[in-house]
Amino acid sequence: MDWKMDSEVDEKAKDGETKEERSNLEGLGSLSINKDTLVRADMIDFKKWDVQFEKQLTRNRSWSTGRDAYRAKAVEEAEEWVIDLAKLDIKTVIAHGTYGTIYKGVYDGLDVAVKVLDWGEDGIATEEETRALRDSFQKEVAVWHKLDHPNVTKFIGASMGTSNLKIPSKSSSIDGQNSLPSRACCVVVEYLPGGSLKRFLIRNYRKKLAFKVVIQLALDLSRGLNYLHSKKIVHRDVKSENMLLTANRTLKIADFGVARVEAQNPRDMTGETGTLGYMAPEVLDGKPYNRKCDVYSFGICLWEIYCCDMPYPNLSFADLSSAVVNQNLRPEIPRCCPSALASIMRKCWDANPDNRPEMDEVVRLLEAIDTSKGGGMIPEDQARGCFCFGPTRGP
């Protein structure tokens, strides 16, 4: 190599052969050299390297801190509702369901109701159904444990496993108790000795309820639903069976198994969720819906509370669905029902969800009703002829 060539090589090394090479030398992030490339040490800016390294370390620390904080928050939220099964003493069975049983028990000295769900380890439920049950349980706990209102059943705690939970058994087992499947779970809530609203109404089927009791129960339910809606929660299964009573007959909303946070886009909430007879037309028809489906169900419950009767007792699912959606079928309001209450029923079960009132308006309408002059459903054995056409106002 002659002097001229040596000089050119030196100049290229000094000034940089290309802009790309210079860029590669100046920045840490973009520096990429192959094994055949020689780099002069005096051309490397080590200060920039230090700056770049510090930035990268800061980003890594920030990501790690954020990840740890997220995990800590998740654990903290879970620990808020996880119960100590050693403090839970199961006593007696209250009710049975398809995939679970409700027991009465004592937790840390308090009377509680324990809802136990198993995940199909008996072979009845499919893997998909088992997964759906677990998802339903987690959603129920996520909704319930944050609620605090006098007309919503108080959540005590829950457990994703029940390996240490013993159920009293009448069989002659060694220890007199049954163990649940390891993957079962339980929700513990306050025990309400008054039972379900449905049972209360059945017991009063013949004598009916005094009008002030009707309004009191309706107000309890409407205030509870208004609270849920204020928290963007749609219950989706409002019915008398899911309402419980205290010893003083205060009504509390229970069973959040299908409740969910209301979607911003109504089209994200579809599907036939609820119980036949209480389901809004848009739900029965598979259309998008929102919290107004609860308002419709409330209207049916209001009729049920007033009449102490069941809506549509003799219609099949297919007949009822078609009649509600296509023929605007609704329960018949007795003539003895005060017009103010009848008006609320009709507003709540309007076929158009947009025409139904919000629950805070329903609360105001119910609070404005005068109960001093009676107006309850007239018992059949006290009415002359058909109670629906009698002029007498009930108790």
Active site residues: 237
- What letter does residue 84 receive in the DSSP assignment? -
296, 351 in Cβ contact below 8 A?
A: no
Its sign, for the CA torsion 350, 355, 360, 366, is negative
Pairing relationship of beta strands 243-245 and 177-179 according to DSSP bridges:
unpaired
Rounded to an integer, what distance in angstroms lies between the CA atom of residue 234 and that of residue 225?
8
In this structure, which amino acid lies at residue 202? I
39, 25 in Cβ contact below 8 A?
A: yes
Rounded to an integer, what distance in angstroms lies between the CA atom of residue 104 and that of residue 30?
67
Write out the two tokens for 98. Answer: 């398809």
44, 119 in Cβ contact below 8 A?
A: no
∠ CA 358-360-363, rounded to 5°: 115
Rounded to an integer, what distance in angstroms lies between the CA atom of residue 171 and that of residue 191?
26
CB atoms within 10 A of CB 186: 27
- What letter does residue 368 receive in the DSSP assignment? T
In this structure, which amino acid lies at residue 299? G
Rounded to an integer, what distance in angstroms lies between the CA atom of residue 238 and that of residue 358?
15
∠ CA 38-39-45, rounded to 5°: 170
User: Per DSSP, what are the bridge partners of residue 155?
Assistant: 189
Q: How far is CA 67 from CA 56, 73, 359, in A?
A: 17, 10, 40
> DSSP string spanning 22-49?
HHHHH-TTT----TT----GGG--HHHH
Q: How far is CA 264 from CA 290, 356, 392, in A?
A: 9, 19, 48
∠ CA 244-246-247, rounded to 5°: 140
In this structure, which amino acid lies at residue 46? F
If you search the block for the tokens 């800016």, which residue do you land on? 45
